[in-house]
Amino acid sequence: MVDNPWSASFVIFLIAAAFSRIFGFLGHAPALVDDPASPGFDWEVPFGASGIQQALLAEGRLVLREERRAPTYWVQRYERVTRLSQFLGGRRAEVASRESVDVPPLSPEVAAHFRMNGTRNGGHGSTATTSRLPILMYHRVSNDWSPATRRWTVTPAELEEQLALLREHEFRAVTFEEWGKAGFDHRPLPGRRVMLTFDDGYSDFAEHALPLIERYGFEAELFVVTGHVGATNDWETTLRERYRLMDWATIAQLPPKTVHIGSHTDTHRMLTAVSAEVATRELVRSRLTLEQRLGRGVSSLAYPYGPASGAVQQLARAAGYDFALTTLEWRAYLGADLMKLPRLEVYGGQSFSEFERMMIGS
């Protein structure tokens, strides 16, 4: 009989390693303490697989490269980030290979602690709460894409299928201010919550994304590259494709109760790769431009390409931002640093089953 939950976790790791025939991976069991609404074990532990992943990625020295995941265990392979890859944007925890596998048999003693449906059903009419927030990262929403840009292009049909799933499972939108207050009060938010974020400000957001967001009753955080408004994504020097960005008139007409606008800097430069003077100019110019153009305050920021050193975070605070997003890939936890919030990338061509596992663990 397995009395110690950590021993049980180790047993599951051994089962997973044998089952997958892959060695040298880290294996951990999910725990309800990380996300009560998703599959996990009810052990009295401070964190499970999600919390361990968060700790491993927190300093930006590792990236998650491969993963085998079942409801009862995660097996993952990490790589160390080199200085060259950091400069080229290697801090992003891009999963090169993610695969779902079957659940291996568990002993009765271990199985007794596993909850396939979590502890709550997640609806806003139930006792569900959110202490681990999924912040979803999108870029383009369009049927116009090339093999080189497919990863950053979700089709309208894909987005609608994802929003329908979120509504079916009674997710609701949350703002930065609500999440920040919940952390300050040390009090999880009621119900299942999610934040939808869109980077760059492409024209297809107004054409395709906004009507779906409104139809399904959600809200969005839109991050604008102010120096390229009305132009194209020509900061992408490694890509041949150019896509139109919204102009100021279109941005001003976006419904403010549904679309909350933040900064993606002025020219989309990686802030960790420029001087403090240049980074400050990028941050300040973008925020002031947005406020002058829109007539309302701007307090949120998405770091271009994701990296954000401690010095960059301090510059962002000094420039007037209260919330900032990286591309570190895990759920935001209650009370964490609001200037270094992680996000879950939703990429083009992602299977519906993978999106479903990411959101509800099934």
| 3 state DSSP class of 110 | helix
251-263 residue pLDDT tens? 999 999 999 999 9
Q: Judge contact between 66 and 97, C-beta under 8 A.
A: yes
Least confident of 40-54, 138-152, 216-230, 284-298: 40-54
Residue 108 pLDDT greater than 70, yes or no: no
Confidence of residue 34 (pLDDT cuts 50, 70, 90): confident
H or E element: which one contains 68? strand 62-70
Q: How confident is the model at residue 137, as a pLDDT? A: 97
Contacts with 212 (C-beta within 8 Å, 6 or more apart), sequence order: 141, 156, 159, 160, 163
Residues facing residue 22 across a β-bridge? none
Query: Residue 160 and residue 81: Cα distance in Å, rounded?
Result: 35
Query: Residue 266 and residue 62: Cα distance in Å, rounded?
Result: 29
Query: Residue 264 and residue 270: Cα distance in Å, rounded?
Result: 10
Least confident of 78-82, 178-182, 351-355: 78-82
266-292 residue pLDDT tens? 999 999 999 999 999 999 999 999 999
Query: Residue 334 and residue 327: Cα distance in Å, rounded?
Result: 18
| 3 state DSSP class of 309 | coil
Q: What is the mean pLDDT of residues 174-186?
A: 94
Q: Judge contact between 343 and 305, C-beta under 8 A.
A: no
Contacts with 34 (C-beta within 8 Å, 6 or more apart), sequence order: 40, 47, 48, 49, 50, 51, 132, 331
Least confident of 41-45, 230-234, 245-249, 306-310: 41-45
Query: Residue 221 and residue 117: Cα distance in Å, rounded?
Result: 30
* DSSP-derived secondary structure for 176-206: HHHHHHHHHHT-PEESEEEEEEEEE-BHHII
pTM of the model: 0.70
Q: How far is CA 87 from the centre of its chain?
A: 21
Q: How confident is the model at residue 319, as a pLDDT? A: 96
Confidence of residue 127 (pLDDT cuts 50, 70, 90): low
Q: How confident is the model at residue 17, as a pLDDT? A: 43
Residue 94 pLDDT greater than 70, yes or no: no
Q: How confident is the model at residue 84, as a pLDDT? A: 59
Q: Judge contact between 309 and 272, C-beta under 8 A.
A: yes
Q: Judge contact between 225 and 198, C-beta under 8 A.
A: no
Angle separating helix axes 310-318 and 276-294, nearest 10 degrees: 40
The domains of the chain, with CATH numbers, are 5-115 (no CATH), 129-360 (3.20.20.370)
Q: How confident is the model at residue 99, as a pLDDT? A: 52
Closest to 258 (Cα-Cα) out of 310, 215, 306, 199: 215
Confidence of residue 21 (pLDDT cuts 50, 70, 90): very low
152-170 residue pLDDT tens? 999 999 999 999 999 999 9
